[in-house]
């Protein structure tokens, strides 16, 4: 993921947006049920995608960005 971000390409930006929006839409489309289920798994996937996209920004942005988050 970091290698894709470091390339500074439009493909990386588009893939990042698609991953964020797609995983968010998946979470919103599933109905809530008590306990662990598909919605909770989709939420964990969405959280992982968001973390994977924010981590390179923190690395590239430096301490100021980490402090702001």
C-alpha 44/C-alpha 47 separation (Å) is 5
C-alpha 33/C-alpha 16 separation (Å) is 29
Please check the confidence at residue 8 and state whether its pLDDT lies above 90.
Answer: no
Instruction: Record the tokens describing residue 20, joined without a space.
Output: 């964020």
Residue 29 pLDDT? 94
**Furthest C-alpha separation in the chain:** 42
| pLDDT tens digits for range 11-62 | 878 888 899 999 999 999 999 988 888 999 999 999 999 988 888 777 777 7
Please check the confidence at residue 2 and state whether its pLDDT lies above 70.
Answer: no
Tell me the CA end-to-end span of the chain in Å, nearest whole number.
20
Please check the confidence at residue 4 and state whether its pLDDT lies above 70.
Answer: no
């Amino acid at each position: 993921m970091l290698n894709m971000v470091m390339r500074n390409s439009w493909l990386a930006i588009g893939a990042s947006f698609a991953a964020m929006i797609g995983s968010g839409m998946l979470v919103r489309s599933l109905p809530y049920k008590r306990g662990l289920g598909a919605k909770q798994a989709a939420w964990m996937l969405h959280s992982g995608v968001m973390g994977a996209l924010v981590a390179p920004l923190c690395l590239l942005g430096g301490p100021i960005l980490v402090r702001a988050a």
